Amino acid sequence: MDGTSAAPAPLAASPAASSGPLPAYRAKVAAGELRADAAQALAAEKLQDLWRRTRGYDPSPEAPEEAGFFSRFFRRKPVDEAPGNAPIGLYLVGEVGRGKSMLMDLFFATADVPRKQRIHFHQFMQDCHRTIHRWKRENPGGDDPIPPLADGIAGRAALLCFDEFQVHDITDAMILGRLFEALFARGTVVVATSNTAPDDLFKGRPGRDAFLPFIALIKQRLEVLTLQAQQDYRRDRVRGLPTWHSPDDGRAERALDAAFRELTGRERGEPQAMAVLGRRVEMPQAVNGVGRAGFDDLCGHPLGPADYLAIATHFHTLVLDGVPRLGPENFDKARRFVTLIDALYEHRCKLVASAADQPDRLYERGENAHMFQRTVSRLLEMQSQDYLALPHLT
């Protein structure tokens, strides 16, 4: 696979970090970086138990047997010879903003596992599809690509930490069961965060019956813990941020960079594609439910209401760069922008944007300027603390 881990900053230098995620969590609370939260503390205890069970965990790889593209990967034990005592992983589920990713990052940073990877689940699946495509191209008429794919993944990581585990794409659903069965057979330990309980994955989608064995496998190999934290910490962060920056200059760009960093803990995100009516709509940067795009990325292409609905439901916050002045000369873009704002507003998605001017001065001339007045009203309301306190509607 082509993906790389998105590991948080190392914590090994502190005594708490060297003792596992629970002491690291308690140290952050003691330092005032986090508020004490009983649900988070319970999750940290569960992760601490897994930290103990995985200390030094490193199933022995065998020599590679295949030539070609996969020959550089370690070959793992075949399914019928896989270790039966691999530690049970953890599936951490809860609403957005409850601290799931933060807790998993503490676990990942402190995990004493020589081969480990932390990756956004969407990126993982994209890498899987690319690898399968490459394998088929290099092995025309060859055997099943899943076993060598699992060989490569398990050869690099005995511990896999997935952020935002979710299944929306039928092509993902088709390979997940067999791929994870192969990974578990090779001794891979999985930790995942998700907004969706296992029983609700791919719910209401065509072909879900064939997906049910995968759900059963997840519940067998991962302990499921629901994180019912006391408050939405992500919403608190949004409420403390200025959300409209004009004019669209270097200062505004730096403000959006800072907002994205505050909301995600990352300088940049990874591209994320959404399947919409058989098409793919891409968010240029995405991390933990926060999307970032330029105005032309979303309004300069022929996107429609269904596309903007997908964006509004997939992301609780959108960071949008470079909203220009609007008028008859760019009416198509203005119309799409109106549709985008309608979708964001209806689903209480939060917007942090840079723009050429304030909302009521973006579209001042032309016969269609009147249509923009509702959008102005919504943009102004979306900056209010009352709106920012509302829960995201998916």
Q: How far is CA 82 from CA 88, 183, 186, 220, 261, in A?
A: 14, 10, 5, 16, 41
For residues 363 and 369, give the distance between their C-alpha atoms in angstroms, rounded to a whole number. Answer: 6
Looking at residue 148, its pLDDT comes to 92
Strand runs labelled E in the chain: 89-93, 116-120, 159-163, 189-194, 222-226, 244-245, 270-276, 279-287, 290-294, 317-323, 350-355
Q: What is the pLDDT of residue 119?
A: 87
Tens of pLDDT, residue by residue over 26-55, are 998 898 877 888 899 999 999 999 999 999
Six-digit token string for 215 = 């759900």
For residues 80 and 213, the answer to whether their CB atoms sit within 8 Å is no
Query: How many of the other CB atoms lie within 10 Å of CB of 82?
Result: 18
Which distant-in-sequence residues (6+ apart) come within 8 Å of 51 by Cβ?
Answer: 20, 21, 22, 107, 110, 111, 112
pLDDT attached to residue 245: 95
Q: HSE, CB side, 13 Å, CA atoms: give it for residue 384.
A: 10
pLDDT of residue 240: 64
Q: Say which residue the tokens 């996969």 belong to.
A: 70
Cross-strand pairs, 191: 90, 161
- What pLDDT score was predicted for residue 97? 66
Contact 322, 352 (CB under 8 A): no
- The predicted pLDDT at position 162 comes to 93
Residue 62 is given by DSSP the state B
Q: Helix H segments across 85-168?
A: 100-110, 121-138, 146-156
Beta-bridge partners for 352: 319
> Which pLDDT value is given to residue 117?
94
DSSP 17-43: HHT-HHHHHHHHHHTTSS---HHHHHH
Cβ within 8 Å of residue 286, ≥6 positions away: 120, 122, 269, 270, 271, 272, 292, 315
Out of 3.30.450, 3.40.50, 3.30.160, 1.10.8, which CATH number does the structure's domain 234-388 have? 3.40.50
pLDDT at 75: 37
Interatomic CA distance for residues 286 and 293, integer angstroms: 9
What fold is seen in the domain 15-226?
Rossmann fold (3.40.50)
Q: How far apart are CA 379 and CA 96, in angstroms?
A: 23
Which residues have CB under 8 Å from 55's CB, separation 6+? 112, 113
Contact 263, 271 (CB under 8 A): no
Task: Output the six-digit token pair for 84.
Answer: 């039966």
SS3 content of the chain, % helix, strand, coil (to 5): 45, 15, 35
Query: Where does CATH 3.40.50.300 sit in the chain?
Result: 15-226
* pLDDT tens for each residue of 325-369: 998 889 899 999 999 999 999 899 999 999 999 999 999 887 677
Q: Which residues of the chain have pLDDT under 50?
A: 2-15, 62-83
- State the pLDDT at residue 230: 61
The structure tokens listed for 93 are 């589920």
Order the strands of the 350-355 sheet from edge to edge. 244-245, 350-355, 317-323, 290-294, 279-287, 270-276
